[in-house]
Chains A and B, each alone.
Chain A
Amino acid sequence: MKRPALGLAAALIAGGFLATAASPAAMAETLRWARSGDALTMDPHSQNEGPTNTMHHHIYETLVTRDNDGVLIPRLATEWSIKEGDPTTWVFELRQGIKFHDGADFTAEDVVFSINRVLEDTSDFKGLHAAVEGVTAVDDDTVEIKLSGPSPLYPNNLTNTFMMDKGWAEANNVTKPQDFANNEESFAVRNANGTGPYRLDSRDPGVKTEMSYFDGHWDDKPDVTKIIYTPIKENATRVAALLSGEVDFVQDVPVQDIERLSGTDGIKVTRGPENRTIFFAYDMASEKLRSASVDDNPFTKPEVREALALALDREAIQKVVMRGESIPTGVQMPPFVNGWTEELDKYEAPNTDRAKELLAAAGYPDGFSVDLNCPNDRYINDEAICQAFVGMLARVGVTANLVSQSKTLHFPLIQNRETDFYLLGWGVPPFDSSYIFNFLVHTKGDALGGWNGSGYSNADLDTKIKAIEIEVDLEKRNAIIAEIWDQIQEDRIFLAVHNQVLAYAMKDNISIAVDPENQAEMYFTKVE
């Protein structure tokens, strides 16, 4: 124990009243876990959101999952393949002898029920399963999923699709994810019955969630048998809780505190790349910008886009704003993603003089001014990144007025195409380029291009983006993906800044590997 010596008076008080605040790391099997946000609900299909999915991975299980390198591995399904003679159907073989926390058997019927539940209107995962036409249980351990067309990468969409017990859901009247318009709380919001390694003991939303090991689980017994999860929103308070010994493991560690935490006795920090790229983008379609000082749209000119790229000093941002905790990149995609190459990842060295020349050549010898929209509560140091870029832009003559606000105000600007110039981060849960193309590159329409805030529209690319959805020949498919990326880089649709790096801080005696999607897994945690 590294408790400092107390003064006499303090010791007297401490004896009577203030004693137990700093008891050392509790029993080895209990893990006290803190991160910035809480799971929003225990209903596994209601919210597709980071902390919610992380919590569900402990209580519920999916058919397939990923290891820490992003490779698809079995979980509740042991094998999966495209049905012979029918490229539009996937066949999943289920693990046998699985039980739910309440003792019910896990069967193919539960999978059919869960996939159908995910397809309900009120589900937040239905977008990932839009191609599903039907699910059938062939026998107790085999499920077939029929899709509207060939879908070679469909299993990638199942990594956050959790399996529920049909009987439990029917008994508790939660056969659909909660409908917000209906003014009743659904039973599944605070209760759970999964097949996962931990069962839910108690849940006080936003305050504390307790889970303990489910001894009917099919896999080996984990080191951690009890989890106490407390969200702590403020960075300083969260770091303080670890420093004072009140929690054992902290996610969402602010980059500036990594050094201090690693240097503290009894605490260690592990790091790993996150599956998320931070980038700037701009309106490439409007004739006139909303906030610019000039009467046309500078971003439509390739010279201006190149000048912006030359103004951006990624390494300075990495060194100072990110404290070395980021991986600068020249492409809007992390290395895990299918389609990434070292060639694409390269970026130009910043060159202020050349940028000024390009601006002058484009007809803006005195630069121009424009609003830069930025979130301030979504990505690591998002506002500081924008601020740093404002300074870099100022040096080439572009006056960017920083408008930084909450994500709830920022995201609609992009979705509704109401911004001239913005920062966004994009994660790629299916680990495939098509996910980026579908949302960020395809022409904005009802189903695709939902986050294409730049208005970029290229009919040729749209055709290719649709083609890779159904291309079964993976080599051919990858060739098309490479073509699309070349066009994206040539047109400079995105100005990629860096890939985020995740840091987990914990007591010395525990080891938690960093997951690229920030899904910390207590099940695999080692305790010494």
Chain B
Amino acid sequence: MLTFIVQRLFQAVLVMLVVALVAFSLFRFVGDPVATMLGQEATVADREALRDRLGLNDPIAAQFGRFVVNAAQGEFGISYRLQQPVLELILERLPATLELAFVSGVLAFVFGVVLGIYTALRRDGVLSNIIMTTSLIGVSLPTFLIGVLLIWVFAVELQWLPSFGRGEVVDIGGWKTGFLTVNGLQSLILPAITLGLYQMTLIMRLVRAEMLEVLRTDYIKFARARGLTDRAINFGHALKNTLVPVITITGLQLGSIIAFAIITETVFQWPGVGFLFINSIQFVDVPVMAAYLIFIALVFVTINLIVDILYFVVDPRLRVERSTGGG
């Protein structure tokens, strides 16, 4: 187990390096940062001078080397757009994204598992079919449209909920939380639904499918024959055995929630890292883009690691596989 984790950590560093390299080689396709950093009066010579100062005229390899050396020391440079240290910027925006991702992740998981179990157990019920069909409507429209529609209905027409931003936040040791104010919680509702809807549907359908499969297996039939209660069978045996793929998908979805937050944050003017990233693409804010990608890579590598460890815990058969797999 320990060797496995150490091995994985080593691989994680490698993954981050590759991400940084790929990121760097594609930045020059995004645009020219100097075009937006200087006013329209800037001369050709001014632009060249700035490019030189930023080191943009150096070969990609040299820029990459410099970036890695600095990044290893926790130094990601200054944002071209906001002129603040990038690490500070990302850490400042992170609570907004994490709180949003957490709330929508919890919403998606809780509703997904509950509705998934319900629709599996009442497979032919009318309510089950309604749930199955309506949940699909939510994934059959693009996220940005759902967000705008929610704003239209709940902010403009009904005026129940705020249309943008995080509302009032409370600063607890540098972590700005929206959980502690009424206004902050209200502001979370629409974005969290927008972001969690797709994941909820996916989890629900997966839980249902896995439950249905497991309920048909011999050992469940055997348990039933032994006279165990429905409750014990459904939740003790069936649910437990559906967890492997559900954990995989949920784990992976956690990552894509953070990636997908880009859209939700843009629509709701949510001051998180995804919104920061989208704005930095438009401004060709290379230091922010690079740091964001490294951050996302870190999140995914961590999630992968956790999912792999959970596999170990949940499915004992894999332990044998691992030890003989030689990976």
Q: Say if the two chains contact directly (CB < 8 Å).
A: yes
**Are B44 and A205 in touch, CB under 8 angstroms?**
no
A125 at the interface (CB under 8 A from B): yes
**Are A40 and B35 in touch, CB under 8 angstroms?**
no
Cα(A236)–Cα(B266), bound, Å: 11
List of A residues within 8 angstroms of B155 by Cβ: 21, 240-241, 243-244, 246
Within 8 A of A (CB), among B2-57: 30-33, 35-47, 49-50, 53-55
B307 at the interface (CB under 8 A from A): no
**Are A231 and B269 in touch, CB under 8 angstroms?**
yes
**Are A127 and B46 in touch, CB under 8 angstroms?**
yes
List of A residues within 8 angstroms of B38 by Cβ: 48, 124
**Are A412 and B39 in touch, CB under 8 angstroms?**
no
With A127-B41, A237-B267 as given contacts, are A408 and B36 in contact (CB-CB < 8 Å)?
A: yes
Cα(A40)–Cα(B49), bound, Å: 21
Most buried by B among A180, A444, A450: A180
Within 8 A of A (CB), among B63-89: 70, 75, 77-78, 80-85, 88
Within 8 A of B (CB), among A186-202: 186, 189-190
B225 at the interface (CB under 8 A from A): no
Q: Mark B251-288, 1 if CB is under 8 A from A, else 0.
A: 00000000000000011110100011001011110000
Cα(A44)–Cα(B182), bound, Å: 37
Q: Which of A4, A22, A47, A406 contacts B39 (CB 8 A)?
A: A47
Q: Which of B35, B49, B161, B186 contacts A412 (CB 8 A)?
A: B35
**Are A446 and B157 in touch, CB under 8 angstroms?**
no
Most buried by B among A128, A415, A447, A448: A415
Within 8 A of B (CB), among A166-214: 178-186, 189-190, 204-208
Tell me the minimal C-beta distance from A416 to chain B in angstroms. 9
Tell me the minimal C-beta distance from B22 to chain A in angstroms. 20
With A21-B159, A412-B35, A446-B45 as given contacts, are A233 and B269 in contact (CB-CB < 8 Å)?
A: yes
B156 at the interface (CB under 8 A from A): yes
Closest to A127 in B: B41
A99 at the interface (CB under 8 A from B): no
With A185-B85, A190-B84 as given contacts, are A4 and B185 in contact (CB-CB < 8 Å)?
A: no
List of A residues within 8 angstroms of B165 by Cβ: 207-208, 230
**Are B276 and A48 in touch, CB under 8 angstroms?**
no
Closest to B276 in A: A206
**Are B156 and A183 in touch, CB under 8 angstroms?**
no
With A47-B39, A184-B78 as given contacts, are A232 and B164 in contact (CB-CB < 8 Å)?
A: yes
Tell me the minimal C-beta distance from B90 to chain A in angstroms. 12
Tell me the minimal C-beta distance from B83 to chain A in angstroms. 5
Cα(A20)–Cα(B152), bound, Å: 18
B158 at the interface (CB under 8 A from A): yes
**Are B148 and A244 in touch, CB under 8 angstroms?**
no
Q: Which of B43, B53, B85, B271 contacts A206 (CB 8 A)?
A: B271
Cα(A189)–Cα(B81), bound, Å: 11
List of B residues within 8 angstroms of A180 by Cβ: 37, 50, 53-54, 78, 80, 83
Q: Which of A17, A184, A243 contacts B182 (CB 8 A)?
A: A17
Q: Which of A19, A47, A238, A450 contacts B44 (CB 8 A)?
A: A450
B162 at the interface (CB under 8 A from A): yes
> Dominant SS at the A interface?
loop
With A124-B39, A179-B53, A205-B84 as given contacts, are A406 and B152 in contact (CB-CB < 8 Å)?
A: no
**Are A41 and B266 in touch, CB under 8 angstroms?**
no
List of B residues within 8 angstroms of A46 by Cβ: 83
A459 at the interface (CB under 8 A from B): no
With A14-B160, A21-B160, A244-B163 as given contacts, are A124 and B42 in contact (CB-CB < 8 Å)?
A: yes
List of B residues within 8 angstroms of A231 by Cβ: 269
With A234-B269, A241-B164 as given contacts, are A17 and B39 in contact (CB-CB < 8 Å)?
A: no
Within 8 A of B (CB), among A1-28: 3-4, 6, 10, 14, 17-22
A217 at the interface (CB under 8 A from B): no
A521 at the interface (CB under 8 A from B): no
B183 at the interface (CB under 8 A from A): yes
**Are B282 and A408 in touch, CB under 8 angstroms?**
yes
With A128-B41, A245-B159 as given contacts, are A407 and B36 in contact (CB-CB < 8 Å)?
A: yes
**Are A246 and B162 in touch, CB under 8 angstroms?**
yes
Cα(A180)–Cα(B267), bound, Å: 30
List of B residues within 8 angstroms of A190 by Cβ: 84
Tell me the minimal C-beta distance from A468 to chain B in angstroms. 17
List of B residues within 8 angstroms of A439 by Cβ: 40-41
Q: Which of A22, A237, A412, A448 contacts B164 (CB 8 A)?
A: A237
With A237-B164, A408-B33 as given contacts, are A20 and B271 in contact (CB-CB < 8 Å)?
A: no
B151 at the interface (CB under 8 A from A): yes
A43 at the interface (CB under 8 A from B): yes
Tell me the minimal C-beta distance from A22 to chain B in angstroms. 4
Q: Which of A22, A124, A185 contacts B78 (CB 8 A)?
A: A185
Could you list 8 examples of A-B contacts with CB < 8 Å? A20-B186, A124-B42, A178-B78, A189-B84, A234-B266, A237-B164, A240-B155, A408-B30
